[in-house]
Amino acid sequence: MTDISVIIADDHAVVRKGTRQILEEEPDMKVVGEAVNGEQAVDMAVSLKPDVVIMDIAMPVMDGIEATRKIKAVCPATAVLALSAYDNDEFVFSLLEAGAAGYLLKDVSGQDIVNAVRAICRGESVLHPVIARKVMNRFFPAVNGKKESEKILGEREMEVLKLASEALSNQEIADKLGLSLHTVEAHMRHIFTKLQVSSRTEAILYALKRGWISINDLADS
């Protein structure tokens, strides 16, 4: 199994040390660098091209939001997982707008962090259900963009994307649609390519902003 390479970006040494210890207990994970500020995180991401950057928000020199934006611009294949003490809506939305694939608070368990790293490497979203609902409410536009979606995504791809927006895992989507896991993963890759995004979270935000997915769709499913 190929190791999942991770950079930890946090200005607190205790947090970096604790997170590193949690991850390196896992046989499939390897911490390849630690950054003490956002600027250093960007430089490390460019040179090391990790699978995941675990990103704090409030850091000196450059904050986590700007660092995430720069990392996604130059290393789109690198997934950013926010790990922050702040649950302020503006921080959450700014990180997701910048391209973060997930958002966790620092009171989560070590296993939650491990699971989140694996999930975003599979292209899955890592958002608390309450946060996911806030995101849907914030980005749901007044216009209906379903006709636009039909020009970009196929019918099955839209089914997969709608189920993904309900926080179902790839395996759960496969079970619900009677497909193989491999087929669902292929659909997700095609969705990412067509929408020019690199994570499930970005794909869901893209669809919500354009009205492809609505609150009513989710309530009726």
Homologous superfamily of domain range 4-121 = Response regulator (3.40.50.2300)
Q: Which two tokens stand for residue 115?
A: 């699971």
pLDDT the model gives residue 128: 65
| The predicted structure's pLDDT at residue 107 | 84
The whole-model pTM stands at 0.75
Q: For residue 140, what are its two tokens? A: 């749901």
Question: Where do the CATH 1.10.10.10 domains begin and end in the chain?
Answer: 141-220
Name the phi and psi angles at 26, rounded to 5. Answer: -90, 135
pLDDT at residue 207, as a whole number: 83
pLDDT given for residue 220 in this prediction: 40
Q: Which CATH class is domain 141-220?
A: mainly alpha
Q: What is the pLDDT of residue 212?
A: 80
Element (H, E) at 217: helix 215-220
Ranges in the chain, pLDDT < 50: 142-143, 145, 217-221
Instruction: Say if CB 150 and CB 164 are below 8 A apart.
Output: no
Question: So what's the pLDDT on residue 219?
Answer: 38
Q: What is the pLDDT of residue 24?
A: 93
The per-residue pLDDT for 143 is 47
The enclosing H or E element of 104 equals: strand 102-105
Contact 156/184 with Cβ under 8 angstroms? no
Q: Considering the chain, tell me which residue range(s) the CATH 3.40.50.2300 domain(s) occupy.
A: 4-121
Task: For residue 27, count other CB atoms closer than 10 A to its CB.
Answer: 8
